[in-house]
DNA sequence: TTGTAAGCGTTATCAT
DNA sequence: ATGATAACGCTTACAA
């Protein structure tokens, strides 16, 4: 009736539970013993209980990736990269959503503390002292895919979005655009602040003034559409850089609705270079912030720290590049 | 140094471990006792070990959702719906990817058997006897979001894609299109077979012959692009229905590359009515297969079965509708 | 109301 | 090489 335990297997095979455990874990045993155990396992359809095992050995062989919004295509890139690395190392990856609130993230990290997974990669949208504290106190290794202060004393891998925006601005200027606007996501988020400053600096480097800046309610497509009308009329602007691809696609929809052509009337640049960038129409020029590489390195950092919890935290910065497509001239 | 256990809390509070456990689980205790325990928990930063707890109580309070491809936007809709239902019921949701192979799915279900989660919602791309067997034998409740034979004896919730395709064909015919082609995904998948048949039947009902049918290598955007040239030239065809939104967007890109206008020259219809359908340009008319509702109902079935494992399996069919957008006339 | 102690299903230590 | 047994950290009878 109930699920077979290791004891049932031992009974069926006429050996001790210890022997069953050994065979299952590949420890030395005679061929005879191995054979009997295998047969019993087969017959009973025995599968070891992951909880009991991990309670004993202290590891779950599960790793968690926590992202803010599963609907954001940048996370699928990152997810795939993380998955690849951790599964090659023999771990299962589970993905959870943090939701948009910091308290959710804190709760997640706290809960992680005991027994859910051996490690956590978290990509937080907002960072506050509580979150940093919960990360510091977390019982399992945490690596942050994003930007947290060095005092957090945690492995991080982040993008260089100011430099990325600089690439976008350089590109637009080289193509003769001067009236460049910026559509940001919420400025109180980690990416939001970095990108706002990056835009300001990049324009300054070219002795240009922002044609406009606006802020969307969040990093989603509908927010992009909704925010687009807050940008100035087309005559005042010949290019707009958006804080991510979803916003950019939203803006392109609004432009089209107003009869404007991309890139002839207005050039549009996104950020993240997610799958959506090539799927959009016209295909979107986008700042590649290295999401795949960030995922990969974050996973590697996590595995390394699981191996050796004493190594000093590393802070990796992944360099951006620009994927030029048809939304810019 | 090491993480505090319930014994440490008990010691710090000067009470027994049983009392700590009781307070933590809200069982009757004096205010005095409650206070001392709370204080000790606070001071030590104690978090109960989920493994040990679940080993004892037999539940993990985790539920798993397994999807084939996290990059397919239809799954984010489903994921959100499932998440909402299960978290309201006090469960954590973890998402895992099965990969495109059946053996992966079988391995997942088997592994699920012991201790990873209290239940599983799986949306399999391919179904074979092994998978059905593993589902039948699974120690935890499984509900299938998709189509498996009734003999599997499992709760299912599936879409009615033939009827959905019928809606699409009706719509196209009503708008004067007669040369309708179908771009399927792999025909050896569950949705692939259903949709192929659905298309044939729908055309027959209108006394029409397929303008063409083709099959993409998988249900992705690049596969859609790659398969599009295998459809006949534009003169031979005035509409194409695609087995999902990603394929449809891929086709629209190819059409545009060949100077064809959507919907003037060729109308395009997708399936799933995912977020991508409204993000694409032109916005994609798409068959809404009720992914959100399927996710919700699947989650509800799972919760119900966890409550009562003896209830007879239900087979829910969610009805489709058509979301008309600008990719059709 | 509180404490003692027996498990939950494993693995690891120690004999044999 | 194999077997008995003590943990792992928790919950829950059962006793007090």
| Closest residue, chain A, to B44 (C-alpha) | A137
Contacts of B14 (CB under 8 A, 6+ apart): B36
Residue-wise burial string across B86-115, b where 16 or more C-beta atoms lie within 10 A, e elsewhere: beeeebbbbbbbbbeebebbbebbbbbbbb
pLDDT classification of A106: cutoffs 50, 70, 90: confident
**pLDDT number for residue B101:** 78
pLDDT classification of A111: cutoffs 50, 70, 90: confident
User: Residue B1 pLDDT > 70, yes or no?
Assistant: no
* DSSP line for B149-192: -GGG--EEEEE-HHHHHHHHHHHHHHTT---EEEEES-TTSHHH
- Which residue in this structure is represented by tokens 């620009």? A322
Beta strands in B258-328 (DSSP E): 267-271, 285-288, 315-318, 321-323
| Helical packing angle, A6-13 and A17-24, nearest 10° | 100
pLDDT in tens, A128-165: 999 999 898 888 899 999 999 999 999 999 999 999 99
Tell me if B153 is assigned to some domain.
yes
> Which residues from chain B sit within 8 angstroms of residue A139, using beta carbons?
3, 47
Do A183 and A267 lie in a common domain? Answer: yes
The sign one gets for the Cα dihedral B101, B102, B106, B109 is positive
Do B284 and B208 lie in a common domain? Answer: yes
- Measured CA angle at A197 (ends A194, A200), to 5 deg: 150
pLDDT in tens, B208-227: 999 999 999 999 999 999 99
DSSP state of B282: S
Tell me if B210 is assigned to some domain.
yes
pLDDT in tens, B88-115: 998 989 888 887 778 888 888 887 767 7
HSE-CB of A148 using CA atoms within 13 angstroms? 28
Bond prior to A263 in cis (omega within 30° of 0): yes
> Which residues from chain B sit within 8 angstroms of residue A70, using beta carbons?
70, 76, 79-80, 95
Do A91 and A149 lie in a common domain? Answer: yes
The closest nt to B4, taking CA to C1', is D9
**pLDDT number for residue B85:** 96
Mean pLDDT, chain B, whole residue set: 93
Tell me if B214 is assigned to some domain.
yes
For chain A, what's the residue count? 329
Average pLDDT over residues A44-56: 91
- Rounded percentage of chain B residues whose pLDDT exceeds 90: 78
Average pLDDT over residues A244-256: 97
Q: How far apart are CA B191 and CA B162, in angstroms?
A: 10
DSSP state of B232: P
The torsion angles phi and psi of B62, rounded to 5 degrees, stand at -120, 145
Beta strands in chain B (DSSP E): 62-67, 92-97, 119-122, 142-145, 155-159, 180-184, 212-215, 239-242, 267-271, 285-288, 315-318, 321-323
Q: And the tokens for B59? A: 């539940």
Q: Answer yes or no: are the C-beta atoms of A156 and A143 closer than 8 Å.
A: yes
Do B269 and B174 lie in a common domain? Answer: yes
HSE-CB of A22 using CA atoms within 13 angstroms? 14
**pLDDT number for residue A113:** 65
Q: And the tokens for B222? A: 């690049």
> Which residues from chain A sit within 8 angstroms of residue B86, using beta carbons?
none
Nearest to A94 among B48, B95, B281 (CB): B95
Do A138 and A22 lie in a common domain? Answer: no
Q: For chain C, which bases have at least one atom within 7 A of a protein Cβ?
A: 1-5, 7-13
- Rounded percentage of chain A residues whose pLDDT exceeds 90: 79
Do A167 and A236 lie in a common domain? Answer: yes
> Which residues from chain B sit within 8 angstroms of residue A45, using beta carbons?
137
Tell me if B1 is assigned to some domain.
no
Q: How many CB pairs under 8 A join A and B?
A: 124
List all residues of chain B from 13 to 42 with a beta carbon under 8 Å from chain A.
none
For chain B, what's the residue count? 329
Q: How far apart are CA B144 and CA B191, in angstroms?
A: 13
> Which residues from chain B sit within 8 angstroms of residue A280, using beta carbons?
279-281
Do A27 and A95 lie in a common domain? Answer: no
Per the structure, the count of domains in chain B is: 3
Do A180 and A269 lie in a common domain? Answer: yes
Q: In what order do the strands lie in the sheet with B321-323?
A: B212-215, B180-184, B239-242, B267-271, B285-288, B321-323
Following CA atoms A153, A159, A160, A164 in sequence, which dihedral angle do they give, to the nearest 10 degrees?
-170
Q: For chain D, which bases have at least one atom within 7 A of a protein Cβ?
A: 1-5, 7-13
Q: Which residue has the higher pLDDT, A172 or B309?
A: A172
Mean pLDDT, chain A, whole residue set: 93
Q: Tell me the three state secondary structure of residue B271.
A: strand
Do B295 and B153 lie in a common domain? Answer: yes
The integer distance in angstroms from the CA atom of B65 to the C1' atom of D10 is 27
The integer distance in angstroms from the CA atom of B16 to the C1' atom of D10 is 13
Q: How far apart are CA A95 and CA B323, in angstroms?
A: 30
Alpha-carbon separation of residue B52 from A16, A52, A53, B21, B49 (angstroms): 24, 8, 10, 12, 6
- Residue B36, exposed/middle/buried by CB under 10 A (0-12, 13-18, 19+)? buried
**pLDDT number for residue B285:** 98
Say which CATH number the domain at B271 has.
Answer: 3.40.50.2300
Q: Is the CB of A6 under 7 A from strand C?
A: yes
Do B212 and B248 lie in a common domain? Answer: yes
Q: Is the CB of A32 under 7 A from strand D?
A: yes
Alpha-carbon separation of residue A123 from A145, B149, B296 (angstroms): 5, 40, 27
Q: Is the CB of B7 under 7 A from strand D?
A: yes
Q: How far apart are CA B303 and CA B280, in angstroms?
A: 36
Following CA atoms B269, B274, B280, B286 in sequence, which dihedral angle do they give, to the nearest 10 degrees?
20
Is B63 an interface residue toward A (CB < 8 Å)? no
Q: How far apart are CA A139 and CA A116, in angstroms?
A: 11
pTM of the shown model: 0.92
Nearest CA-CA partner of A180 in A214, A211, A215, A207? A211
Q: Is the CB of B77 under 7 A from strand C?
A: no
What is the pairing mode between strands A92-97 and B155-159? unpaired
Instruction: State the residue range of the domain holding A72.
Output: 57-157+291-319
pLDDT in tens, B125-180: 899 999 999 898 888 899 999 999 999 999 999 999 999 999 999 999 999 999 99
**pLDDT number for residue B111:** 78
Q: How far apart are CA B73 and CA B70, in angstroms?
A: 7
Q: In what order do the strands lie in the sheet with A142-145?
A: A315-318, A155-159, A142-145, A119-122, A62-67, A92-97, B92-97, B62-67, B119-122, B142-145, B155-159, B315-318
Is B110 an interface residue toward A (CB < 8 Å)? yes
Q: How far apart are CA A7 and CA A10, in angstroms?
A: 5
Q: Is the CB of B207 under 7 A from strand C?
A: no
Tell me if A297 is assigned to some domain.
yes
What is the distance, to the nearest Å, from the Cα of residue B176 to the centroid of all Cα atoms in its chain? 34
Do B167 and B280 lie in a common domain? Answer: yes
Tell me if B326 is assigned to some domain.
no
Tell me if B251 is assigned to some domain.
yes
Q: Answer yes or no: are the C-beta atoms of A245 and A277 closer than 8 Å.
A: yes
User: Residue A77 pLDDT > 70, yes or no?
Assistant: yes
Looking at the complex, report in whole angstroms how far the Cα of residue A175 sits from the nearest Cα belonging to chain B.
23
**pLDDT number for residue B113:** 65
Tell me if B324 is assigned to some domain.
no
Q: Tell me the three state secondary structure of residue A254.
A: helix
Looking at the complex, report in whole angstroms how far the Cα of residue A201 sits from the nearest Cα belonging to chain B.
31
Nearest to A47 among B94, B95, B110 (CB): B110
Do B170 and B260 lie in a common domain? Answer: yes
pLDDT in tens, A85-96: 999 998 989 888
Contacts of A47 (CB under 8 A, 6+ apart): A3, B110, B111, B113, B114, B139
């Amino acid at each position: 009736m109930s699920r077979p335990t290791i004891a049932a297997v031992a009974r069926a095979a006429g050996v001790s539970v210890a022997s069953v455990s050994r065979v299952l874990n590949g420890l030395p045993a005679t061929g005879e013993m191995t054979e009997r155990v295998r047969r019993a396992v087969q017959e009973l359809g025995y599968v070891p209980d992951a909880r009991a095992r991990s309670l004993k050995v202290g590891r779950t062989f599960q790793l968690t990736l926590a992202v803010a919004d599963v609907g954001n295509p940048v996370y699928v890139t990152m997810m795939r990269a993380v998955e690849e690395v951790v599964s090659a190392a023999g771990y299962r990856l589970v993905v959870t959503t943090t939701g948009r609130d910091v308290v959710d993230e804190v709760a997640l990290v706290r809960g992680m503390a005991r027994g859910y997974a051996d490690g956590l990669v978290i990509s937080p949208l907002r960072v506050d002292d509580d979150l940093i504290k919960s990360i510091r106190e977390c019982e399992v290794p945490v690596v942050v895919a994003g930007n947290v202060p060095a005092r957090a004393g945690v492995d991080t891998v982040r993008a260089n979005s100011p430099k990325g925006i600089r690439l976008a601005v350089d590109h637009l200027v080289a193509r003769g655009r001067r009236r460049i606007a910026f559509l940001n996501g919420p400025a109180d988020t980690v990416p939001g602040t970095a990108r706002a400053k990056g835009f300001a600096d990049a324009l300054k480097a070219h002795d240009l003034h922002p044609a406009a800046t606006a802020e969307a309610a969040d990093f989603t497509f509908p927010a992009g559409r909704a925010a687009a009308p807050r940008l100035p009329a087309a005559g005042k602007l010949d290019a707009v850089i958006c804080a991510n691809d979803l916003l950019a696609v939203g803006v392109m929809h609004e432009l089209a609705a107003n009869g404007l052509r991309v890139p002839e009337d207005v050039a549009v640049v996104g950020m993240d270079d997610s799958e959506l960038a090539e799927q959009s129409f016209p295909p979107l020029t986008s700042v590649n912030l290295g999401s795949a590489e960030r995922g990969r390195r974050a996973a590697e950092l996590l595995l390394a720290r699981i191996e050796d919890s004493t190594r000093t935290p590393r802070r990796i910065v992944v360099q951006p590049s620009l994927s030029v497509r048809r939304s810019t001239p």
